[in-house]
Amino acid sequence: MAPRIVLVPDPHGPGGRLQPLDEAGEPLGPPAATTDLAAAVADAERAGAVRWVWAAADSAYAPLLPRLPDRLARCHDLRLVEALLLAHEGRFGAPRSLGAAWARLRGLPVPADLPEPGSAESDDGQDTLFAPDRLQLPPGADPLAAVVAVHAEQQRRLGAIADPGARSRFRLLAAAESAGALVAAEMAYDGLPWRADIHDRLLTELLGPRPAIPGSRPRLLAELAAELQQALGGRPFNPDSHSQVLRAFAERGIQLGSTRSWELKAVDHPAAKLMIRYKELSRIHAAHGWAWQDAWARGGRFRPEYVVGGVVSGRWASRGGGALQIPRILRRAVVADPGWLLVVADAAQLEPRVLAALSQDTGLARTAAGGDLYEALAASAFQGDRDKAKLGLLGAMYGQTSGDIGPLLATLRRRYPAAMGYVEAAARTGEDGGVVTSRLGRACPPPSADWLDLTEAPESAGDAGGRSARARGRFTRNFVIQASAADWALALLAALRRRLAALPVADPADRPHLVFFQHDEVVVHTPANLADEVAAAVDASADEARRLVFGDTPVRFPLSTAVVDCYADAK
């Protein structure tokens, strides 16, 4: 086990304090103060394996990155681990900052977590990511003493998980989530290679030249809006206004419940196609247009702020920049540096394979052993009809029961009883108001008070309670799969990051590094001469993650890997 060292930066300068800990989390001697924290951390890292303990990576690790000669190997992120423990203990959503954890430990009033920097709830919308008050400690409290105390309490709570297997898996989850904090900070610092000239050309082709007046529509988008107006009778309306669009269609005798694309596609009127196209282009202009480029894609890099565990299932989110929703057409702007390449890998049919591994259904495991899972499923249970196989399995995982899916689900129950029993048991737990967990122990949110009131309402309330219960059952049915897939992805990231760090390079600046992560896809920016080794490292990391998370399972998690100069060429 790597020794642990608490790291507390000085918020007003380059110095800070370090505190070695024993295995129980107790201090080993007095803390060491330094005027150059980056140099002291680098010296400790070179001396041997260390697990750094800090309040949060964004306040402790991110500011050090520009001054560190190389990356740190591992950490324990108190804020992320606190969130996992609180959910595990049935206190989902409780404040997780260092100050909140310290207050709970001392029986003091617990401060609410501050809004995330740049969020709508933030006071001024400015970047206060490294401000010391984000720790939420009361005046006079020593941050180092608080980190030491909270870490020791977290170690006690981790050790108190009764079942040895569950305890071991939860410790792995805490380590993987903390490794995710390292990856997120490094990806934000390194950035995704981004060619502004290509981005500008793509926008011009789609929308017309950049408007001279900020906030106005580009020429082609304005022309499309005019065509739409004429197609609906010529009366002026704002195509960006939901209510005005519905009214304009209604005046032509077309009743729409919404402006969603699937509903517009069912309308036999020229304006429907125009509206769909307008929405597509308007979304690109608003979410990834020139204003986005000015804010997020500067200096040849797109540097979003990733939020580890930002979704209840453990999937990541992003704070501004739309990092997880880069339109396919704009991926042409993601181009490797000269002499470098992009290794792009994504897991094929991840969630069905996760179900096979979770349920230990031997039949589904054989089906998921390799290749196209849906093709194999079709051959074994659906007379070769891949569409039916896919529809049935997705319906089982997401709780779909409408249409012609019933017979497909019946077939799956006969052929794969353990797999279907697994998701149906998770659904029943949710319908009864219970909590389910991922493979490593991430807990789903408990039902709300409103949900409990509704489901316990008398029969006179109608079927609203039943609908609410079934909806929660659909959520918990999918949670066990999606959250376990997130467990695997975190383990993959941690293993891949370690392997990339071990590749031989003369200069740390030439080391391959992760630059993008989205649910089941990773992108590594690498010197061209190391691309094959990086691709092999990705495959090895995926298999390591499979073994760590799911143990001795025959289920494989194959990756589709491409080595390309441009991200758009990967698919």
What residues contact residue 105 under an 8 Å CB cut-off, 6+ apart?
Answer: 149, 150, 153
Q: Report the candidate in 546, 68, 571, 189 with the shortest Cα–Cα distance to residue 342.
A: 571
Superfamily of domain 196-293: Taq DNA Polymerase; Chain T, domain 4 (1.20.1060.10)
**Cβ contact 519:557 at 8 Å:** no
CATH level 3 topology of 302-350+486-570: Alpha-Beta Plaits (3.30.70)
Mean per-residue pLDDT of the chain? 91
**With bands split at pLDDT 50, 70 and 90, how would you rate the model's confidence at 1?**
confident
Under DSSP, is residue 65 helix (H, G, I), strand (E, B) or coil? helix
Report pLDDT digits (tens) over 294-304. Answer: 999 989 999 98
Tokens coding 201:
């050309």
pTM of the model: 0.91
The end-to-end CA distance of the chain, in Å, is 41
**pLDDT above 70: percentage of residues in the chain:** 95
Report pLDDT digits (tens) over 388-424. Answer: 999 999 999 998 877 788 899 999 999 999 999 999 9
pLDDT of residue 128: 37
Report pLDDT digits (tens) over 19-47. Answer: 999 988 899 999 999 999 999 999 999 99
**With bands split at pLDDT 50, 70 and 90, how would you rate the model's confidence at 462?**
low
Q: Where are the domains of the chain?
A: 4-190, 196-293, 302-350+486-570, 362-479
Under DSSP, is residue 487 helix (H, G, I), strand (E, B) or coil? helix
d(C-alpha 133, C-alpha 349), whole Å: 43
d(C-alpha 147, C-alpha 77), whole Å: 10
**With bands split at pLDDT 50, 70 and 90, how would you rate the model's confidence at 290?**
very high
Burial of 22 (0-12, 13-18, 19+ CB in 10 A): exposed
Burial of 565 (0-12, 13-18, 19+ CB in 10 A): middle
**Cβ contact 239:250 at 8 Å:** no
Report pLDDT digits (tens) over 311-369. Answer: 999 999 988 788 888 888 899 999 999 999 999 999 989 999 999 999 999 999 998 88
pLDDT of residue 535: 97
Count Cβ atoms below 10 Å from residue 387 Cβ, excluding itself.
Answer: 10
Beta bridge partners of 527: 340
What average pLDDT does this structure show over 477-494?
Answer: 97
The 3-class secondary structure across 337-386, one letter per residue, is: CCCEEEEEEEECCHHHHHHHHHHCCHHHHHHCCCCCHHHHHHHHHCCCCH
Res 524 pLDDT > 50: yes
Q: Report the candidate in 55, 69, 48, 49 with the shortest Cα–Cα distance to residue 17.
A: 55
3-state DSSP helix/strand/coil % of the chain, to nearest 5:
55, 10, 35
Report pLDDT digits (tens) over 178-230. Answer: 999 999 999 999 999 999 999 999 999 999 999 999 889 999 999 999 999 99
Q: Out of 131-145, 154-168, 210-224, 250-264, pick the least confident.
A: 131-145
**Cβ contact 248:233 at 8 Å:** yes
**Cβ contact 411:405 at 8 Å:** no
d(C-alpha 428, C-alpha 448), whole Å: 17
Q: Own/partner pairs for 243-249, CB < 8 Å, 24+ apart?
A: 245/275
Most distant CA pair in the chain: distance in Å?
A: 80
What average pLDDT does this structure show over 278-290?
Answer: 93
Helix (H) or strand (E) holding 175: helix 164-190
CA distances to 73, 183, 507, 520, 533 from 49, rounded to whole Å, are 8, 18, 21, 29, 24
pLDDT of residue 117: 52
